[in-house]
Structure 1
Amino acid sequence: MEIEDKFIAYFSKFQVLSTEEKNAILKDIDIRSVKKGFTLLKEGQIAKDNYFVINGCVREFYLHKV
């Protein structure tokens, strides 16, 4: 199954999507694959994107300075 199909299949669990809706969603998203260890956001950066994990996992770290 292609990544695009997995993405649409996930949302189809919650809402029936017409072909036009599926095409509109896929037209407006940027699907990227990243390797293990890839940093999505570095300290001090402001997030400008949203991420949706189809396969794998993401670790989040928060450093609290005292």
Structure 2
Amino acid sequence: MKKSFLNILSVAFVLTTIGIVMDGDVVKTTMLVRFSEFLLMWGIISLIVVLFYFPIKYLLRNKKIV
């Protein structure tokens, strides 16, 4: 369980970093705003990945689909 959470957080971190680098804000924002935006985006992406990963893992394990 710990390993799966670490994997999910690392995937979300990479996706968030790519999103922040590709972000083209016209207005220059402060460092605090950029940091809070990064943390919130990381949390949202982690939540989305968790909501897809664990139900699929549960269904595959209990229903013996694969």
Q: TM-score, normalising length from structure 1?
A: 0.32
Q: TM-score, normalising length from structure 2?
A: 0.32
